[in-house]
């Protein structure tokens, strides 16, 4: 289930609804596509579902990380578990609150955060929260074996949930005791937890700081030729269909980035180009030293281009979203495909380039899982070595590979494998 956000269009003031975690802001009133950025992660608030009951009550918003993406686990010699992940974890330590928000439809629509003194800044890094989620999930998993586990994140944002904080006077000292209860959860609205003196101090200190997410917007228009850039939800790199330049969000604007584009073999007209991160690496501690060797370990029956023996180990990881299972398969196909790398084309004419929605850092997170997918079922010895392997990515760049358009699918021009059109998210 998607979390929806309501915000106001900075150009016309119209009310716009969009998905949490996406930078795309499409206003149907003034028909503009804007890219939204903040100084830190994107953050939203859940409005309290009702007001306060008494004068001694206050509202405090406590941050939760929301992660959405893919989760992979290598279990045993032949199995990779792949699943979609959409979860939350508290982004503040030392407070007696729920570990996660859960999926609660009654939470309703989120809001963009106004500059506010009622938001507690987060003090728990995303990485640490992810480790916590991992531990939580492993309790649910049947497998206790510690294989390789990876989260490939597509979305990472903060959601601020409202709590009410109230002071009650009572025995034995007669002094006030602070307590906290969720205001985003109607079912547990009266479940109060007592706050320690430390937690109260932490909240009060936190609330002294004014949270100012500082949203900034810029129009999605090619800085070179003025063409509208593709308004794809979740995109981070935008190719221009007008001039084939590719733009990356950088600070408050768009910067052109280099890419390589491979011409399709002859006979394919009007191809679609899908983006891939071409990653070259060193696998310390593994007997796989070059691209040729890697391919021979996996597809010993096929002729490998001779020059692959002089190239570093290379993988092509999708730079666009797919379902978790297909993502791995496509990475495997393309990493083994006999892509004719001499065919890199220039910028001369407009091409059908697909937007990039998976950042390089996340693609790099997938490397060990893609290696496991390659060795799974045909080389258990190498599969077993991946976990301890000292991975070093030496070179990474964006490439666009040609696919042939068919009615229901896109067929890779080099390997002949097909991706259903409906799978392109
Ligand atoms: Zn507007
Ligand atoms: Zn352009």
Worst-scoring range by mean pLDDT, 8-12, 163-167, 229-233, 283-287?
A: 229-233
The model's pTM is: 0.88
- Coil, helix or strand for 45? strand
Ligand lying nearest the CA atom of residue 13: 1
- Considering the domain architecture, whether residues 168 and 113 belong to the same structural domain is answered as yes
Residue 114 token pair: 């106004």
What confidence score (pLDDT) does residue 78 get? Answer: 79
The C-alpha atoms of residue 400 and residue 356 are separated, in whole angstroms, by 10
Using one digit for the tens of pLDDT, what is the confidence trace for 366-410? 999 999 999 998 888 999 999 999 999 999 999 999 999 999 999
Judge whether 254 lies within some domain.
yes
Judge whether 202 lies within some domain.
yes
Judge whether 34 lies within some domain.
no
- Considering the domain architecture, whether residues 170 and 234 belong to the same structural domain is answered as no
- Considering the domain architecture, whether residues 140 and 289 belong to the same structural domain is answered as no
Where b means 16+ CB within 10 Å and e means fewer, 21-42 reads bbbbbbbeeeebbbbbbbeebb
Q: Is the per-residue pLDDT at 255 higher than 90?
A: yes
Report which of residues 268 and 16 the model is more confident about. Answer: 16
Q: Is the per-residue pLDDT at 107 higher than 80?
A: no
- Considering the domain architecture, whether residues 141 and 290 belong to the same structural domain is answered as no
- Considering the domain architecture, whether residues 120 and 199 belong to the same structural domain is answered as yes
- Considering the domain architecture, whether residues 271 and 393 belong to the same structural domain is answered as yes
What confidence score (pLDDT) does residue 223 get? Answer: 94
What confidence score (pLDDT) does residue 249 get? Answer: 87
Range of the domain at 326: 227-423
Judge whether 21 lies within some domain.
no
- Is the link from the previous residue into 215 a cis peptide, with omega within 30 of 0? no
Kindly state the percentage of the chain with pLDDT values over 90.
46
The domain total for the chain is 2
Judge whether 30 lies within some domain.
no
For residue 425, the CA-to-ligand 1 centroid distance in Å is 25
Mean pLDDT confidence for 118-128 = 88
- Considering the domain architecture, whether residues 237 and 202 belong to the same structural domain is answered as no
For residue 209, the CA-to-ligand 2 centroid distance in Å is 42
Judge whether 7 lies within some domain.
no
- Considering the domain architecture, whether residues 265 and 180 belong to the same structural domain is answered as no
Q: Is the per-residue pLDDT at 115 higher than 80?
A: no
For residue 331, the CA-to-ligand 2 centroid distance in Å is 29
The C-alpha atoms of residue 261 and residue 284 are separated, in whole angstroms, by 30
For residue 278, the CA-to-ligand 2 centroid distance in Å is 24
Q: Is the per-residue pLDDT at 110 higher than 80?
A: yes
- Considering the domain architecture, whether residues 258 and 391 belong to the same structural domain is answered as yes
- Choosing from 161, 176, 208, the residue where a domain stops is 208
- Considering the domain architecture, whether residues 51 and 185 belong to the same structural domain is answered as yes
For residue 16, the CA-to-ligand 1 centroid distance in Å is 8
What confidence score (pLDDT) does residue 210 get? Answer: 74
For residue 321, the CA-to-ligand 1 centroid distance in Å is 28
Ligand lying nearest the CA atom of residue 28: 1
What confidence score (pLDDT) does residue 316 get? Answer: 97
What confidence score (pLDDT) does residue 233 get? Answer: 80
- Choosing from 180, 208, 236, the residue where a domain stops is 208
Report which of residues 345 and 320 the model is more confident about. Answer: 320
- Choosing from 177, 208, 239, the residue where a domain stops is 208
Q: Is the per-residue pLDDT at 105 higher than 80?
A: no
Ligand lying nearest the CA atom of residue 245: 2
Mean pLDDT confidence for 119-131 = 89
- Considering the domain architecture, whether residues 194 and 252 belong to the same structural domain is answered as no
- Considering the domain architecture, whether residues 253 and 391 belong to the same structural domain is answered as yes
Lookup result for tokens 């003031």: 13
Judge whether 396 lies within some domain.
yes
């Amino acid at each position: 289930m998607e979390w929806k956000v309501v915000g106001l269009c900075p150009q016309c003031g119209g009310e716009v609804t969009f998905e949490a975690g996406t930078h795309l802001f499409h206003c149907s009133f003034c028909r503009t596509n804007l890219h939204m950025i903040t100084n830190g992660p994107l953050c939203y608030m859940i409005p309290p579902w009702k007001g306060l009951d008494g004068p001694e009550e206050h509202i405090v918003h406590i941050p939760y990380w929301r992660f959405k993406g893919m989760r992979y686990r290598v279990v045993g010699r032949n199995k990779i578990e792949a699943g979609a992940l959409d979860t939350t974890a508290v982004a503040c330590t030392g407070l007696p609150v729920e570990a996660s928000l859960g999926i609660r439809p009654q939470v309703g629509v989120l809001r963009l955060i106004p500059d506010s003194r009622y938001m507690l800044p987060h003090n728990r890094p995303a990485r640490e929260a992810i480790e916590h989620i991992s531990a939580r999930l492993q309790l649910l998993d049947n497998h206790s074996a510690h294989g390789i586990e990876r989260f490939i994140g597509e979305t990472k944002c903060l959601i601020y949930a409202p709590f009410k904080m109230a002071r009650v006077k009572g025995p034995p000292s007669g002094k006030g005791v602070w307590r906290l209860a969720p205001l985003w959860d109607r079912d547990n609205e009266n479940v109060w937890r007592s706050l320690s003196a430390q937690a109260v101090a932490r909240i009060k200190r936190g609330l002294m700081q004014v949270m100012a997410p500082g949203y900034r917007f810029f129009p999605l228009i090619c800085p070179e030729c003025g063409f509208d850039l593709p308004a794809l939800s979740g995109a981070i790199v935008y190719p221009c269909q007008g001039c084939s330049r590719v733009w990356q969000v950088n600070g408050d604007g768009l910067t052109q980035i280099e890419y390589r584009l491979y011409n399709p073999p002859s006979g394919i007209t009007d191809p679609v180009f899908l983006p891939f991160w071409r990653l070259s690496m060193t696998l310390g501690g593994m007997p796989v030293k070059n691209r040729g060797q890697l391919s021979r370990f996996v597809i010993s029956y096929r002729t490998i281009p001779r020059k692959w023996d002089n190239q570093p180990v290379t993988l092509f990881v999708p730079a666009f979203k797919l379902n978790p299972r297909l993502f791995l398969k496509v990475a495997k196909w393309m990493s083994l495909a006999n892509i004719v790398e001499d065919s890199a084309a220039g910028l001369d004419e407009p091409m059908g380039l697909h937007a990039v929605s998976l950042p390089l850092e996340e693609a790099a997170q997938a490397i060990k899982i893609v290696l496991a997918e390659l060795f799974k079922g045909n080389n258990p010895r190498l599969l077993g070595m991946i976990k301890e392997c000292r991975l070093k990515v030496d070179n990474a760049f964006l490439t666009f590979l040609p696919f042939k358009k068919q009615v229901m699918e896109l067929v890779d021009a080099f390997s002949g494998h097909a991706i259903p059109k409906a799978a392109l998210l």
